[in-house]
A and B are shown apart, each in its own frame.
Chain A
Amino acid sequence: MDSYNQTRQIDEHLVYEAHAELCKVLTDPKRLRILNALREGELSVNELARTIFAEPANTSQHLGVLRRAGVVATRREGTVIYYRLAQPRLVEACRIVHEIVLEQLSRASRMLPTAGEMYDRHPSTQAGYRQVGNTEPSGSAAAVERLATISYES
């Protein structure tokens, strides 16, 4: 291997490492929800906390991770800090991953008899499932279809 290829190999590895690090930032559902919420425009910590159903302190922590990774940027107005997306391309990447997951879910739902079987592993889901069950008698396939229309639709 000549020295050019050696250098190239090292750089290439550096990119894979950095890429994996950036993916790690996205391995938390709350952080993904923050990015999803910010697609509509900038929001304060409190507004974000309400949108993603989390405590403001917890939301701040997640925002700190996203800011340090350069994924979100901030603007101060008086005492309020507003967060916005700093990397629209990363959000587009998330949208693609989201689409893939939706397709996986819809494939899986065709193999499962009801939405209940899919979700009743979670302790707090009984009420939610009954609600879905009432309006969507055809089970999880319909639930997944409904999902596709609410999230990440532009």
Chain B
Amino acid sequence: MDRIDDNDTIRQLFRLQAQLCQTLADPTRLEILYALGEGEKTVGELVSLTGARQGNVSQHLALMRERELVRTRRSGNSIYYALADPKILEACRLTREILLERLRRTSVLSQML
């Protein structure tokens, strides 16, 4: 990368990317993300799926909405949450593969010891 590339737009882009990673850096938010990968859900449905408290889930959803990871749709009295861009699941899947391999290696190792 050339020096000329270090402009404010590039800096802004990496800052936003770091911010999005920060949004993903929470186990409950990741669980919500995977649940929404199966289709749109209400807060109530996400609460029973994740086992987290309603207030907690709502807080996470508010942040995820602010960071444009999820979008909402109102139907009658219910608000449905959905993934804003399902591509994020592919990024998570790749990361998860690495971790699963590591965990498997660790458990093989502990069985050998």
Contact = CB atoms under 8 A, between A and B. Distances in A.
Nearest to B6: A53
Interface stretch (B39-47, B74-82, B92-100): B92-100
A89 B10 CA distance: 23
B98 A87 contact: yes
B94 A92 contact: yes
Contact of B12 (A28, A31, A92, A118): A118
B96 A19 contact: yes
Interface in B22-80: 22, 24-31, 68
Contact of B25 (A24, A53, A89, A96): A24
Contacts of A105: 12-13, 16
A17 interface: yes
A104 B68 contact: yes
Interface centre among B12, B16, B85, B103 (most CB of A within 10 A): B12
A13 B27 contact: yes
A94 B85 CA distance: 15
B10 A150 contact: yes
A19 B102 CA distance: 11
Contacts of B1: 36-37, 51, 151
B25 A100 contact: no
A28 to B, nearest CB: 6
Interface string A1-30: 000000000010111111111111011110
Given A23-B21, A26-B21, A118-B12, A16 B98 contact: no
A32 B14 contact: yes
Nearest to A107: B68
A119 B12 contact: yes
Contacts of B16: 101, 104-105
Given A16-B27, A129-B8, A143-B9, A22 B95 contact: yes
13 contacts: A11-B103, A15-B96, A16-B30, A19-B95, A23-B22, A27-B19, A29-B17, A90-B95, A94-B17, A96-B91, A101-B20, A151-B1, A151-B10
